[in-house]
Amino acid sequence: MSLEVQVGTPHLAIHQGQTVWLSDPDGQLVPGTERGLLFRDTRLISSWRLLANGAPWLLVNGGATSHYATRVFLTNPVIPAQDGDIPASTLSLMLGRWVEEGIHEDLDITNHGAGRARFNLELVLRSDFADLFEIKSGRIVRRGRIATEWSEAAQTLRSEYRNDDFFRGLTLTADADSAAVLANGRLSFEIDLAPGATWHACLLTDLHDGAQTLRAPAGCMQDSHDSEVARRLDLWRRETLKLRTSNEEFYRYYHQAVDDMAALRMPVVLDGHSELMPAAGLPWFAALFGRDSLIAALQCAPVTTGFAEGALAVLGHWQASARDDARDAEPGKILHELRHGELAHFRLVPHTPYYGTADATILYPIVLHEAWSWTGDPTLLQRHLPNAEACLRWIDEYGDRDGDGFQEYQTRSHQGYENMGWKDAGDAVLYPDGSRVKGPKALCELQGYVFDAWTRMAEVYDALDRTDRAAQLRARARALAERFDAAFWDDDFGGFAYALDGDKRRVLTSVSNVGHCLWSGIVKPERAQAVVERLLAPDMFSGWGVRTLSARHPAYNPYSYQNGSVWPHDNGFIALGFKRYGFAAEAARVARAVSGAAAFFALHQVPELYAGLPRELAPYPVQYLGANVPQAWAAGSVFSFLAALLGLRPDATRGVLQVDPTLPPWLPDLTLRDLRFRGESFELHFRRIGETSIVEVMQGDPAKIVRPSPEGG
């Protein structure tokens, strides 16, 4: 690719769990930006600069070597010194930084000049301990007190922030070839290098939150390859699904997604046991989310069921048991977002956790069924059935606010979200004239999710010999599909309404959400072609993917967050929906569009979203400013496309994996290794021969790999 699209302004990022170090490209950090070292929603470092006798170093090259490590090469300008100027570019400074729990930084200076180099290396370090919400808003209010203490004997600098019982802190220990002193608010090292000589320092930063201390790794940068975080990454790569194909573009898109999901693994400790959850995205969403984690878990099921198992455990633990209008909590509801910063601690924001999501609770039983279908593990049902049943009760008692049989939402909190579907921007749900829809709002995809949840849970109850309950849910699902068709389909519009408003009027706005209705299966077969054709019409399909909103709508803006942009995860669900209803070529067209876009982004790392400009105007995807990258459900989009192209669908009732490949000409071959299904590892080889796609079972029991029956959905 002759052009590489960088998302956002250039930066370097390393991260692990809920620790994110976001710096400038030279590894440093000038004050006054949104960047810094973020730990549990608090910025512990807001300024980090290296100076040589007051002069800044010059960037040569820098980059991340993994999600947890980065290396930067710097050189010097002319440095005025007591013994005469140190010529430019005669010193090299190599900065290595990596995170395991705390942070380890290596500074290596080499004198490549002909003369002696004597100067002071200064580290300018500042901590504002700002809350993440305030960093994003640009309005930082100091509520507590910062205290800094330097111990020359121990070579430690400790900086702490306290506000009543809220605490954050860091301890930096310098282990260098020359001792540091604290002077004028800076750590200063005397450097004296003969020609060819080197100087080394380790800076070890421990992170504190009052309840725990995350220790800096002792090993230097070269030791990071043998660290526990490196071993976990290697294990992840070995245990997850492997893909080979002659299509380099799709291969790189897939493998970058596997690494992105590895980078976003977030351990959450419950009862002394660590569960792995996918963080939503970086840099702002290294936190526990409901909808994002559940969608990512669904996407990742063919690759690993670990995320699903972790999400079920952690989100079940936080399931609401009482109504709390300030946090939009209701019995049985699954959280939207949990934060740990100062504002959440003092309940100045409702994220303790906040429950303002209309879909996470419905998605929970869907994920339970999906994980059980892939693993065949009955203990998953034993552990999480009570949570899933609480979700089903919430659907009836709270999700359906007025008893009309549809899911509606509207916040009760004075700090609550206007919109609670996956399109949760305040301006995301609009009438055809561009005005905002009056609530409570019944989004089309929410009805589909309920249909899917009831249908899947009927299979669960059958497996548990609760056939009466299974029959009841199937009957309710069929009735919901009929009501949905009657209430949401509009003949004159030629499609389904985006939503029903608070007066039960159809909101006839063309949006991508209806593709989720195909994915869920709530759409009558005779309606499917109209939905497919509408989503692939020029005003909806940009060439780089399906837009969130029609280009003919008065509010359309290709650079907006959700009113005309393209979201990869959204397109993944649309492709799965197309495939479900037999539109395989159309599913492949959507997959090709997003895969082609991924090829332009740096590292093939598809961002959260990108602009909805038409491909004929934009011969490469145009970034959305502020998109998160990596982002869990964006990375997971390729797994959805893979499932759509190959027709991967576990059949929990029969204990078999359905495959229905329709490889397009641009993807003529594909091999899956270490595909884990019900305790067995499979290797499947898919090939396109003429217009036909075949599958060969190279490893594993061939009886467990079946083609779907003609009447299968």
Q: What is the pLDDT of residue 710?
A: 63
Q: What is the pLDDT of residue 438?
A: 97
CA distance 253 to 356: 33
- In the chain the domains, ranked by start, together with CATH numbers, are 12-230 (2.70.98.40), 240-643 (1.50.10.10)
If we measure between CA atoms, which residue out of 462, 480, 358, 346 comes closest to residue 408? 358
Q: What is the pLDDT of residue 478?
A: 98
If we measure between CA atoms, which residue out of 299, 298, 293 comes closest to residue 316? 293
Position of tokens 């229905």? 660
Q: What is the pLDDT of residue 224?
A: 84
Contact 106, 200 (CB under 8 A): yes
Q: 224 is written with which tokens? A: 């990071």
Q: What is the pLDDT of residue 712?
A: 46
If we measure between CA atoms, which residue out of 443, 423, 437, 432 comes closest to residue 553? 432
Position of tokens 């005003």? 539
pLDDT digits (tens, 9 = 90+) for 312-337: 999 999 999 999 999 999 999 999 99
Concatenating the DSSP letter of every residue in 326-368 gives GGTB-TTPPPSEE--SHHHHTTSSS-SSB---SSHHHHHHHHH
If we measure between CA atoms, which residue out of 529, 622, 641 comes closest to residue 574? 641
Q: What is the pLDDT of residue 222?
A: 84
Taking phi first (over 0 means left), then psi (-120 to 50 degrees means alpha), and beta for anything else, what does residue 200 get? beta
In the chain, helix, strand, coil percent, each to 5? 30, 30, 40
CA distance 36 to 50: 15
Number of residues in the chain: 713
Which helix (H) or strand (E) element contains residue 457?
Answer: helix 444-463
CA distance 531 to 537: 10
Q: What is the pLDDT of residue 3?
A: 79
b/e per residue 646-677 (b: at least 16 CB within 10 A): bbbbbbbeeebbbbbbbbbeebeebbbebbbb
Q: What is the pLDDT of residue 185?
A: 86
Concatenating the DSSP letter of every residue in 558-593 gives TTSSSSS-B-HHHHHHHHHHHHHTT-HHHHHHHHHH
Contact 531, 523 (CB under 8 A): yes
Q: 632 is written with which tokens? A: 């869990």
Concatenating the DSSP letter of every residue in 618-637 gives -SSPPBPTT--SSBHHHHTH
Kindly tell me the number of DSSP H helices and DSSP E strands found in the chain: 16, 34
b/e per residue 374-407 (b: at least 16 CB within 10 A): bbeeeebbeebbebbbbbbebbeebbbbeeebbb
| Torsion of the alpha carbons at 186, 189, 195 and 198, rounded to the nearest 10 | -110
Q: 317 is written with which tokens? A: 């633990």
Q: What is the DSSP letter of 423?
A: -
Q: What is the pLDDT of residue 549?
A: 98
pLDDT digits (tens, 9 = 90+) for 3-50: 788 787 788 999 998 999 999 999 999 998 999 999 999 999 999 999
Residue stretches of the chain with pLDDT short of 70? 1-2, 710-713
Dihedral sign, Cα of residue 277, residue 265, residue 580, residue 507 = positive
CA distance 42 to 282: 14
Starting at the edge strand found earlier in the chain, the sheet holding 656-658 runs 649-651, 656-658, 705-706
Look up the pTM and report it. Answer: 0.95
Q: Residue 674, SS3?
A: strand
